[in-house]
Amino acid sequence: MTKFHEIQSRFEWLNAFFRSYHSFLVIEDKCTDLDRTYKDLSPFTHLNNVLLYDTVINWCKIFGSRSEECHWQKVVKDHDHFRRYLFKSIGKTQKEFSEYQEKVVDFRNKWVVHFDPNYEHPAVPFFDIAHDSAIALHCYLKEQSNSEYPYGGPENIEDFGKEVSKALFSNLLINQ
């Protein structure tokens, strides 16, 4: 895979993260009301769980274990420079980020991908650091783009995610 395609794939995973993240947020508090019509089928609760899992998986592909094929370290040349950029952007120390990263990876490994009946976790992990770190990487990669590796994706990844969720749920008349 060429460097251009590797960088593009990170943008694609970041896009997937923001699609799922914002769609998850849109229906998170509305599942009970939306499912009421469908008795015991719970289609919106199920969809919300799928979006939650997809959000976690996509973030972990990029920020999880360094052995992940899509980890940011495989496309960012200056790791220390990006780390400084990341921690400044999200307002966290490396220790705080590492502790959070470990919790999300643990949630993915023990709840989302595999089931550990003894795993105790919060109902849903907080996504504030995941969200902010994904924005930071998106901005960083975009800033590092040049004529050799041009960026052609959404200018504002946050707006992109919101637009996707609106498009997905506009027929349900869900107000954001």
Containing structural domain, residue 49? 3-172
| Confidence check: pLDDT of 120 > 50 | yes
Give me the mean pLDDT over the 123-140 stretch: 89
Q: Are 10 and 151 in contact (CB under 8 A)?
A: no
Give me the mean pLDDT over the 100-126 stretch: 82
User: How many domains does the chain contain in total?
Assistant: 1
Percent residues over pLDDT 90 in the chain: 55
Q: What is the pLDDT of residues 61-98, one digit of tens each?
A: 999 988 888 899 998 989 999 999 999 999 999 999 99
How many angstroms separate the CA atoms of 108 and 53, rounded? 8
Output the DSSP codes for 90-140. HT--HHHHHHHHHHHHHHIIIIIIS--TT----SS---HHHHHHHHHHHHH
pTM of the predicted model, to two decimals?
A: 0.88
